[in-house]
Structure 1
């Protein structure tokens, strides 16, 4: 079926709209053929169908840029604008009726039965509503978290001579919450700790002179009491030490540095509390710690496993058209967010004469909790919320 972005839509004349539209007529609109030379086009308005993004497609780079620029420009003062950190910029997912309209006429699976209807029959739209972005913004200067909705009225690539336009639909400051820390904050926290003299002394007591070997992981404090209340942006770092600073596969997590307690103000990047509570010996250097080829027990890789080959000489059994995937009788759309990672939309099954049966509107991993289960300090507070605190999508790796 031809791409929806390359076809034209035909709005019907008044006489045509008196008759309900059947599936075959919709298909002819989706895949219009050139009319005969003597055919009359009286009463038919030709409209360019300019929907290049499905309502559920992840935001493009251009859309993200427009959304960020729109929110930053809406800042009340230069100080507010300069203090903005954009923690998350994602698609503000539309209502189901907008998705149904897109699937009915603009994009596969092209289901005419989903078109809205009036007494005169099905209504043929000329375009969809503008897409929207949802932004989570942390203001470092004021320690405030806000959520913004931006309408992406028109977004074209500047290389095509287009222009960018966005409009703030709403903004709301959320009290007593803290959004996830970002990579910049992780790096800043590590630098603050490494430059803190009491921390340097604690490392020397453990025989660590080269601070480049030290790894500082900023962990969320959790909420164990009023001292941990989210009115402050706090972290309690965990410390590790590599044995080689120039090895790209070095597993520093094999050598935790224990007995050290630190509390860091992530808003102002200062160490609030520090204690060297107990001198715990470092785990010895182990050449097998990296689990890389050749570093196995005995010093050689196993040779008793036969090769595994997966071949598809006729290609895969699935088809991918943009974000739309078909596999056997299943079809769905793929999305992606920094927090959840993979999102699967509009899952359906083509069930013979019953047609396309909706199975699920939206599927994702909303959270993954990892309780370490050790009552000793500092491990008792290691209960990672991998989606909400770190982001499954931000830590995903391509399988290619």
Structure 2
């Protein structure tokens, strides 16, 4: 990164060199920022030279202490770590961008960097989105393009979108958004049904000018509405009887502040305006011994690359985490709609663009779900007939980024399993469908989802950062493949198969892809701990096999999203390595994030490790995805493998007596609670 000015010295009383008044010391160094701390951080930052009425906070969040500082404090072997906040500042009229870290403990500014934009821009502001209409509606070329299509500015709404990086000389060092238009026929008309295709505008949002209008030709605007909330379109409602989920004795979890205990699990619930929900210090109580598994888990990046090479769409590649900070758009969840059952909500406190605290009420939902059979056996020799019900703890949030809605769900199971699932719904980002060519072939880069309406092909690639502590800080990763054994000596009948284990020794070796043909998984083990059988304790990552980034390796997006070219990377822990695509994703030319983190090829054998996992679907839209998309799913699973000495769910109590064999039949078969897969919830 080119740095125009950078200071790291402490500024003492020049910048409030003492702890701000009325700001309480948090009970834990990883506690979420509260409203008072956000106000205090704003007060410190606003003392910087050049801070003006037009300065905006593109990001404000907790700058977490080094992992070892936190663990030392918890063990009583170190002082409470310094309480720090990171702020990213944008001056609207000049585009001046600053990255600042302040100490709430001392009131000092610890670092201050001014960026020149050559290595990326700060995240896109809501205020910049809102300014787009006024900017393009004053541009003669844009108004002429609308008029050519028989449209006026009053008939259209705009989708301001992140620009990517394509080397256009007029965009160097400028904050650029690219704009597509949609016709909106009345105030309740969903405009996604009426894309104004064939034209786009490129906008310098700081200078408030249109730098380029791309007009590739007039295309018919699809006429049919897509108002999924219109009762006439919905049709008569189904006659569905209520499902009532109750826990008469209350939930099985306890919450103290941000710390949760459930069954054998213990963890902290966190929130970040960039990443949304964060799980911290996830551990399992194994017969009185608390064993760490994951120090920090979050969705650190999310890429939505589109596959339509149209002159007005080739640049559609969105980093919803790094460019838009999707945590800011978290929904306030409603009981009975988003979450069902005995719910515990957590509010999300964050900063608005003026640096003032705001609260997203019920931003995070937590509840238990029944999940069918946990284990069961009827033994022919002893007559034993035992069954246990499974349940899981669900911690989730939903965020709406433009047209799409994403839910992220972390599941904890009684047997030590951990899962992360993304739920994708909302509205397709649409195009006009060009129709068949002269030979009768369909357009190769989009589906027709309604008459004349296209759904461009695209991917959703989520990257999860798993800061590992599997039984401690000395971890390693093995790649496990199944291997067929040829018929021959020792395998005379050809039935043998085994597994092939490959230790990943350095960061450079760690870029790996899932392979269903060999059942590939990754075993994360502790190199210093063993189970009662003398083998390493560990967890196995089971991926959901799907394509990685499909754009050409030489493309701009492949350079900017190198993390998405593999399913797994592993790095040695470094607290500054936070995001798979780097800190400043918007308009970055590429090479930040994981490529930079891997460059030193550090050892990852018996080290403090971070595992980065990319997963998600490739979407060829269906007519059934219109006008609102039924939820699609993508997930991965972490299962204990030798972490425990035996089944850790043996102590789950048996179901109530009314589940005894034959009882359901005697009562007319209405004991639905005993049926497998009877899970409930979101």
Give the TM-score normalised by structure 2.
0.43
Deviation, 1:379, is 2.4
Q: Secondary structure at the match of 1:191?
A: helix
Q: Which residue of 2 aligns with 1:5?
A: none
Deviation, 1:51, is 4.0
- Distance in 2 between the 1:244 and 1:150 partners? 48
What stretches of structure 1 of length at least 5 have no aligned partner?
1-49, 105-113, 117-122, 155-165
CA displacement 1:294-318 (0-9 Å, x = unmatched): 2446x32333x44332222222222
Deviation, 1:390, is 1.1
Return closer, same or farther for 1:275/1:381 CA change in 2, 3 Å cut-off: closer
Structure-to-structure mapping, 1:34-183, within 5 angstroms = 51-75=25-49, 77=50, 80-100=51-71, 104=74, 114-116=75-77, 128-153=80-105, 166-175=107-116, 176=118, 177-183=120-126
CA displacement 1:335-388 (0-9 Å, x = unmatched): 1111111111111111114x1111111100011111121122322211111101
- Pick from 213, 219, 233 the counterpart of residue 175 of structure 2: 233
Q: Secondary structure at the match of 1:387?
A: coil
Q: Which residue of 2 aligns with 1:348?
A: 283
Return closer, same or farther for 1:51/1:267 CA change in 2, 3 Å cut-off: closer
More helix by share: 1
Q: Which residue of 2 aligns with 1:20?
A: none
- Pick from 311, 319, 335 the counterpart of residue 385 of structure 1: 319
Q: Does the CA-based 8 Å contact 1:130-1:151 persist in structure 2?
A: yes
Q: Does the CA-based 8 Å contact 1:264-1:270 persist in structure 2?
A: yes
Q: Secondary structure at the match of 2:277?
A: strand
Q: Secondary structure at the match of 1:63?
A: helix
Q: Does the CA-based 8 Å contact 2:227-2:233 persist in structure 1?
A: no
Q: Which residue of 1 aligns with 2:245?
A: 310
Deviation, 1:171, is 0.9
Deviation, 1:204, is 3.7
Q: Secondary structure at the match of 1:393?
A: helix
Aligned residues: 309
- Distance in 2 between the 1:316 and 1:367 partners? 33
Q: Does the CA-based 8 Å contact 2:264-2:284 persist in structure 1?
A: yes
CA displacement 1:147-198 (0-9 Å, x = unmatched): 11111137xxxxxxxxxxx221111223422011111010111221123344
Q: Does the CA-based 8 Å contact 2:145-2:215 persist in structure 1?
A: yes
- Distance in 1 between the 2:199 and 2:122 partners? 26
- Distance in 2 between the 1:137 and 1:63 partners? 17
Structure-to-structure mapping, 1:239-250, within 5 angstroms = 239-245=181-187, 247=188, 250=189
- Distance in 1 between the 2:281 and 2:171 partners? 39
What stretches of structure 2 of length at least 5 have no aligned partner?
1-23, 335-682
Q: Secondary structure at the match of 2:105?
A: strand
Relative contact order higher in (CA < 8 Å, ≥ 6 apart):
2
Q: Does the CA-based 8 Å contact 1:346-1:362 persist in structure 2?
A: yes
Return closer, same or farther for 1:143/1:293 CA change in 2, 3 Å cut-off: closer
Q: Which residue of 2 aligns with 1:290?
A: 227
Q: Which residue of 2 aligns with 1:186?
A: 129
Q: Does the CA-based 8 Å contact 1:263-1:272 persist in structure 2?
A: yes
Q: Does the CA-based 8 Å contact 1:190-1:218 persist in structure 2?
A: no
- Distance in 2 between the 1:230 and 1:72 partners? 28
Q: Secondary structure at the match of 1:344?
A: strand
